[in-house]
A and B are shown apart, each in its own frame.
Chain A
Amino acid sequence: MSESRPYLRAQPRHWWAHQPYRAYTIRELSGVALAIYAAILLAGLVCLARGPDAFEAFRHFLASPVSLLIHLLLLAAAIWHMWTWFQILPKTMPKLVWRGKLIRQDVMSRTATLAAVACSIALLALFVVVGANI
């Protein structure tokens, strides 16, 4: 007569901080960076609504070295978020069949990344052109 007494090992408490899950955790945290940037933009809008003095103070903060450092870090996080998001994009989409054959996942990722880069460059160019005409 054999005895059955299954033993369940507990999941490590900080599993998300260790390999192989660290890359996933960083990808998700980079989304928080986007939320922080949105909050900064929102703060700018609130300052604009409060009047010229408040908005000038906000602009002064934007030009400070601390703000520049924060924005550089947020830019890096945003680029990382875009890159990793498009890496996982094919996992979230229905399979695409073209002329009876599956479209490869790396082709889908690359196309989406290129489209995002093209849109970002177009937007930047637009701001430069509009900015030069003001």
Chain B
Amino acid sequence: MARSANNSKQAAKKKPMLDMTAPDMKAPKTIELRVLRYCPSKDSAPAFGSFQVPYTDDMSVLQALQEIKATLDGSLAFRWSCRMAVCGSCGMMINGEPKLACNTFLRDLAPKPVTIEPLQNFPIERDLVVTVGDFVKKIESIYPYIMPKAPKTIEQGTYLQTPAQMEEYASFADCINCMLCYAACPQFGANPDFIGPGAMALLQRYSSDSRDGGQQARLDRIRGEDGVWSCTAVGLCSEVCPKQVDPANAVNQNKSKSALDFFLSRLRSKESVS
């Protein structure tokens, strides 16, 4: 009796393995990828190219692009490196949304055709590769390092910090510079000189660090329309962030600081005149 009960338990356990409705990882399925192509030496403007790609349920969009490059069209250009949402290289517009190609799976998009475009709001170098020079310059411009309030010598020891002090900036340190937030930001689309959400997240990471003393230098950088003031709190930058960095929070915290700095700087200049 006990044995038959055991057997039926085993049979129940095995049943899902034999279930014909379960997704078969090796079934030969294909999906259509519509990829925006642009070759600067041949094309006057980008145009869509279509590819039928065999796929399995564990395949990411990045793997599909690699499959195209390996078997269908070796000239397809796209950036990638880590395949695990850490390097931030494979950001692109997938069905109109800024996403990491390595972190987006074909099973969630099938059976409809998938549209793949380079990141919105950036100049296209070739196919899915965009120009990143301006973004890097913005990152460099916000002093992305700790500027100690009072520099210490090695003999004086390390700069200490409590876990609570670290909590204040820890999430901003998770940014992987994938630029998805810039592709989601309509104000960056309207004003390419706007410092933008990603650089502001990095700025906040350093300015809210208890060991840092570079707040004023960074506030001077973010004044005006090209600083924080192009932001209208659309908030989509935080929604598309694959690392939950919340750049919208970084920008808007600094709007308050920039406004206060504006009034304080007027007081300072009056003091210096008198």
Known: A21-B234, A91-B252. A97 touches B168 (CB 8 A): yes
- Bitwise interface map of B from 237 to 274 toward A, beta carbon under 8 Å scored 1, else 0: 01100000010110011011000000000000000000
Binding stretch for chain A, among B7-15, B26-34, B40-48, B78-86? B40-48
B233 within 8 Å of A (CB atoms) = yes
Query: Considering residues A4, A88, A91, A101, which has the most beta carbons from chain B within 10 angstroms of its beta carbon?
Result: A91
* Contacting residues, chain A, for B122 (C-beta < 8 A): 8
Cβ–Cβ contact A24 & B167, under 8 A:
no
Assess whether B131 is interfacial by the CB under 8 Å rule.
Answer: yes
Pick from A5, A8, A9, A101: contact of B167, CB under 8 Å: A101
Q: A100 in the interface, Cβ–Cβ < 8 Å?
A: yes
Question: Is B125 an interface residue when CB atoms closer than 8 A count as contact?
Answer: yes
Q: Which residue of A lies closest to B239 (CB)?
A: A20
Interface contact B123-A8, CB-CB below 8 Å: yes
Cβ B236 vs Cβ A20 within 8 A: yes
| Residue from B164, B184, B234 whose CB has the most chain A CB atoms within 10 Å | B234
Is B215's beta carbon under 8 Å from chain A? no
A100-B164 contact, Cβ under 8 Å, with A11-B121, A92-B252: yes
CB–CB B238/A7 < 8 A: no
Flag if B233 contacts A88 (CB, 8 Å).
yes
- Does A51 sit at the interface, judged by CB under 8 A? no
| B124 proximal to A (CB < 8 A) | yes
Shortest beta-carbon distance, B209 to chain A, in Å?
Answer: 13
CB nearest neighbor in B for A1: B41
Q: Are A91 and B246 in contact (CB under 8 A)?
A: yes
Chain A residues positioned under 8 Å from B45 (CB to CB)? 7
A:103-123 near B, CB below 8 Å: none
Which residues A1-28 have CB closer than 8 A to chain B? 2-9, 11, 15-16, 20-21, 24, 28
Contacts of B41 in A (CB 8 A): 2-3, 5
- Chain A interface (Cβ within 8 Å of chain B)? 2-9, 11, 15-16, 20-21, 24, 28, 88, 90-95, 97, 99-102
